Amino acid sequence: MFVRSCWKPQSEKEIWAFIDAHPWALLVNNGDSGPYVTNLPLLLDRSEEKFRLIGHLAAGNEHASVLRSTAAPTLAVFQGPASYITASWYPNRDMPSTYYYTAVHCYGSIRFQDEEALRQSLEILTERLESQFPDGWKTSEVPPYDITRRLKHIIGFELEIDRIEGKFKLGQDEPKKDALAVGERLAHSEKSAERELAEMILAYNLDRTDY
């Protein structure tokens, strides 16, 4: 990923928080006939010295076979808020239109879970994603067999993160007044993702002293 120094996240802690906030990811591997890509949720596990991403995919997915056979690194792509930025938002309208966007790429090796680890990770995933609902669903609401009978049809895995890249392209390489004008505009958007992007734009540009 092409990342200018000004686009790098300010800390590794901010990268981990980004992954927590945006767990919907793309899992990417090379295959003999081309790349394999699967959309899936990946949860960050900080319990070991080397952080891991926990996920699962259908056993019938051909990507699962590629995961088992590849020796090359696996890539997980996380995307956060993004927006097209029209040049009409700039005070002098003298810069070209562009995109502001946020992304994190994680590279690492795969290890597979046994059935017990898979069950535990599914429980954590369910609790995490259901917590956003006032009366979220619990796995205890169905007979245990309705959970266990599905386990043979999915593959649980852990991606040990060996390398990570973050890119928060938020106008840091543009005139400060332009970036702040964009942030102020998006702060009043009806879209929550654009308001989130506005917060990041302001956080990364308010204290700039360059121009």
Quote the pLDDT of residue 210: 83
pTM higher than 0.75: yes
Span 165-196, pLDDT tens digits: 999 999 999 999 999 999 999 999 999 999 99
Span 4-33, pLDDT tens digits: 999 999 999 999 999 999 999 999 999 888
Span 132-159, pLDDT tens digits: 999 999 999 988 888 889 899 999 999 9
Cβ contacts of 182 within 8 Å, gap of 6 or more = 85, 89, 90, 100, 171, 198, 201
Cβ contacts of 9 within 8 Å, gap of 6 or more = 15, 18, 104, 166, 168
Residue ranges of domains in the chain: 5-173
Span 35-57, pLDDT tens digits: 999 999 999 999 888 999 999 99
The three-point CA angle 180-166-69 to 5° equals: 155
CA distance 59 to 135: 31
Task: State the distance between the two ends of the chain, measured CA to CA, in whole angstroms.
Answer: 26
CA distance 144 to 125: 17
For residue 194 the two structure tokens come to 């654009």
Q: Give the residue carrying structure tokens 């009806």.
A: 190
**Homologous superfamily of the 5-173 domain (CATH):** Electron Transport, Fmn-binding Protein; Chain A (2.30.110.10)
Cβ contacts of 22 within 8 Å, gap of 6 or more = 78, 79, 80
CA distance 66 to 57: 12
Quote the pLDDT of residue 144: 84
pLDDT of 1 > 90? The answer is yes
Quote the pLDDT of residue 33: 85
Q: Confidence band (pLDDT; 50, 70, 90) for 130?
A: very high
Of 202, 187, 175, 182, the residue nearest 94 (C-alpha): 175
Separate counts of helices (H) and strands (E) for the chain: 6, 7
